[in-house]
Amino acid sequence: MAERGGAVAALAARFREGKPLITAWCGIPEPSVAGLLAAEAFDTVTLDMQHGAHDFDSISRTVALVAARGKPTLARVPVGGFSTVSRLLDAGISGIIAPMVNTVEDARRFAAMAKYPPLGERSWGPGPALMLSGLSPETYLKEANGFCQTLAMIETREALAALDDILAVDGIDGIFIGPSDLSIALSNGAGLDPDGAAVRDALKHAMARTRAAGKRIGIYSLSGPRTRELIGQGFDLIALSGDSALLRAGAAAALREARG
């Protein structure tokens, strides 16, 4: 049975089921790329505005293609891009990942843009989201704070130190770990080691604190085996590589088969 609120509300509904979700990660701003990945067994699709080439226009043209597969779409905004959050939710995005949320003040600004009063300051105008959700305006207003998910990225020493306070902010639904940036921060810029011991220790800490707060935790993964490992550790949302990497891997595999 389809979730109440359709694909727009599906992310929160699937989080409540307690099963780990694997998201495709798209930086290529061509809507058909996300549409093709949504046709595979991914649970959701994430569109990247920080390091990917997506912008509001490409995202607004992509959401319906993913929703046609009955799947929710997330978006990662640029660093400090809180002003884009409400527009993306209006377009039908189900969850926002905000990078470099290092302080309680960052978390509060993020939550304010994603949640309607009295929890936040989101203004009214969710035309496409209303159409995709099938909800009445009154019902959308009443329920949106629950199904429009906010994930604050934890990727610095400062963020780790403030983790409990960030998780305690009303309107922050969970966190998302950026292991590459976290490895750079933990090594003071000495190297890139997203699967190293320092990051793994930080992940255990982040998992324990997030579970204590009763919230969600996601992470980026570079490979299938690492994704299986992260599922076993209890992560709620795992991004499996990226569209460019998957395209290259598929091409390389096909060429190996063709050339023997």
Which residues form the catalytic set?
A: 51
For residue 87, count CB atoms less than 10 angstroms from its CB and return exposed for 0-12, middle for 13-18, buried for 19 or more: middle
Q: Which residues contact 102 (CB under 8 A, 6 or more apart)?
A: 156, 158, 159, 162
Instruction: Tell me if 139 sits within 8 A of 129, measured CB to CB.
Output: no
Task: Using the structure block, give the residue that is written with the tokens 């990662």.
Answer: 76
Q: Which residues contact 48 (CB under 8 A, 6 or more apart)?
A: 25, 26, 27, 54, 75, 76, 242
User: Tokens representing 32?
Assistant: 């058909």
Instruction: Tell me if 9 sits within 8 A of 94, measured CB to CB.
Output: yes
